[in-house]
Amino acid sequence: MLKMEYQEKNAKDLIARANYKKGKEDGRVEGIEEGIDNVNKLNSYLLEAGRIDDLKKATNDKAFQKKLIDELF
């Protein structure tokens, strides 16, 4: 059973790498990286501003997170 799980994990890893490579070719990876940068900037801002409750809410509520990003950036 473990061998099958290992093979499935390897197959999923190969698919993920292929998708990443394809995404990189058509610009999606850059968009993902930009999104990650925006979330990191938001998190840093909220931490520095002492807005811990907003940070907690934004990690679980995508709509709230997007609202904050739109307001701040």
What is the mean pLDDT of each successive set of 10 residues along the chain, which is 73 residues long? 63 72 68 89 95 96 94 84
Total domain count, the chain: 1
pLDDT attached to residue 32: 83
End-to-end Cα spacing for the chain: 49
Task: Determine, yes or no, domain membership for 1.
Answer: no
Looking at the chain, the number of H-run helices and the number of E-run strands are 4, 0
pTM: predicted TM-score of the whole model, two decimal places: 0.61
Domain extent at residue 27: 8-72
Q: Letter for the amino acid at 5?
A: E
pLDDT attached to residue 68: 94
Contact of 8 with 16, CB cutoff 8 Å: no
Q: Number of C-alpha atoms within 13 angstroms, CB side, residue 55?
A: 13
Task: Determine, yes or no, domain membership for 3.
Answer: no
